[in-house]
């Protein structure tokens, strides 16, 4: 029987240098892959660091399976895995020694430490570098080691900031498959700017905008929300300025000496004769951020 874990984030507020970064951020999620989206500087990493116990909010609470993880005397490190965007360790430490250290500080109780680490190393194809110094690792290997330490011990909540940074296309596909596997028994909260990744493997999307979570739902729900409002039209170059006064443009592409293909938002429903036929998650996200 698979335990359906639950994460409750309630009324989180965070200020920095007298500036309000997050205001009453609230959401609830359970097992699956939850993608946190938002423009640069919106506060995505701040939310993740607060949940991971790295930063303290001005107010609010975070509950994992009804346990407060912000007020607990001992942060439940064995239940939570965290990979920051800028993952780094001492350059003279080997990958194996680092995983061994993480195993120890999590106080894991599996029967065989060596067996657990060996299986993890094989799963992330780290055999070639695992006994080498971290300073010799490529960006891809550094990211793989970071992901491995985050999932060590099968935590109930896994937090990954920009999961596929440094991974080549093949590694990204492999990682998507692994995320799908572990998210069956864990809450996997990711923050990424790669919309393709979100569209392919996310169960749910959170959009952080103007210091709040302003959307929570599936990829399909976000696309459906935007479908009536995104269009494209071929516009004469000398008519472009006048056209842009009528709508909010989100993309312009010259297709000939005299024509510009314009993708635009129009909440009034006027298509100007040419409706965009296929709505992607990227289009839907741009619409939501600009509506």
- Say if CB 85 and CB 165 are below 8 A apart: yes
64 vs 8: CA distance, rounded Å: 7
54 vs 229: CA distance, rounded Å: 40
Cβ neighbours, 10 Å, residue 105: 9
Q: Are residues 232 and 103 in the same domain?
A: no
Asked if residue 274 has pLDDT above 70, the reply is no
User: 280 is in which domain, residue-wise?
Assistant: 226-290
Q: Are residues 160 and 65 in the same domain?
A: yes
- Say if CB 192 and CB 198 are below 8 A apart: yes
Q: Which of residues 217, 235, 263 is at a domain's end?
A: 217
150 vs 142: CA distance, rounded Å: 12
Asked if residue 241 is part of any domain, the answer here is yes
Q: Tell me what the mean pLDDT of segment 88-96 comes to.
A: 90
Which pLDDT band holds residue 286 (cuts at 50, 70, 90)? Answer: confident
99 vs 121: CA distance, rounded Å: 9
- The DSSP annotation for 13-75 comes to EEEETTEEEEEEEEEEEESEEEEEE--TTSSHHHHHHHHTTSS--SEEEEEETTEESSS-SS-
Q: Are residues 266 and 197 in the same domain?
A: no
Residue whose C-alpha is closest to residue 88's, from 149, 41, 46: 149
Q: Are residues 239 and 174 in the same domain?
A: no
71-75, 177-181, 250-254: least confidently modelled range? 71-75
Q: Which of residues 182, 217, 252 is at a domain's end?
A: 217
pTM for this prediction: 0.82
Q: Which of residues 217, 249, 264 is at a domain's end?
A: 217
Q: Are residues 276 and 135 in the same domain?
A: no
Asked if residue 79 is part of any domain, the answer here is yes
Asked if residue 1 is part of any domain, the answer here is no
Q: Are residues 210 and 252 in the same domain?
A: no
Instruction: Say how many domains are in the chain.
Output: 2
Which pLDDT band holds residue 150 (cuts at 50, 70, 90)? Answer: very high
- Predicted pLDDT at 156: 92
- Say if CB 37 and CB 187 are below 8 A apart: no
Tokens found for residue 253 = 């592409």
- Predicted pLDDT at 157: 94
């Amino acid at each position: 029987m698979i335990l359906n874990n639950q994460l409750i984030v309630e009324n989180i507020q965070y200020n920095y240098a007298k500036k309000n970064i997050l205001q009453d951020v609230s959401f609830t999620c359970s097992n699956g892959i939850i993608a946190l989206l938002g423009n640069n500087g919106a506060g995505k990493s701040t939310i993740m660091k607060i949940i991971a116990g790295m930063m303290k909010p001005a107010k609010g609470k975070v509950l994992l399976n009804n346990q407060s993880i912000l007020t607990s005397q001992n942060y439940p490190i064995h239940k939570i895995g965290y990979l920051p965007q800028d993952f780094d360790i001492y350059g003279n430490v080997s990958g194996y020694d680092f995983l061994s250290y993480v195993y120890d500080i999590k106080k894991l109780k599996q029967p065989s430490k060596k067996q657990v680490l060996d299986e993890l190393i094989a799963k992330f194809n780290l055999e070639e570098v695992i006994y080498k110094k971290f300073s010799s690792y490529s960006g891809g290997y550094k990211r793989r080691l970071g992901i491995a330490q985050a999932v060590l011990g099968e935590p109930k909540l896994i937090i990954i900031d920009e999961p596929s940074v440094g991974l080549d296309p093949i590694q990204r596909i492999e990682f998507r498959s692994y995320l799908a596997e572990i998210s069956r028994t864990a809450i996997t909260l990711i923050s990424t700017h790669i919309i393709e990744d979100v569209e392919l493997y996310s169960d749910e999307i959170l959009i952080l905008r103007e210091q709040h979570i302003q959307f929570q739902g599936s990829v399909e729900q976000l696309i459906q929300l935007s479908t009536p409002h995104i269009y494209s039209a071929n516009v004469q170059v000398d008519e472009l300025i006048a056209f842009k006064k009528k709508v909010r443009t989100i993309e312009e592409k010259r297709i000939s000496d005299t024509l510009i293909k314009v993708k635009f938002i129009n909440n009034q429903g006027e298509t100007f004769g040419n409706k965009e036929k296929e709505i992607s998650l990227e289009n839907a996200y741009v619409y939501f951020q600009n509506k």
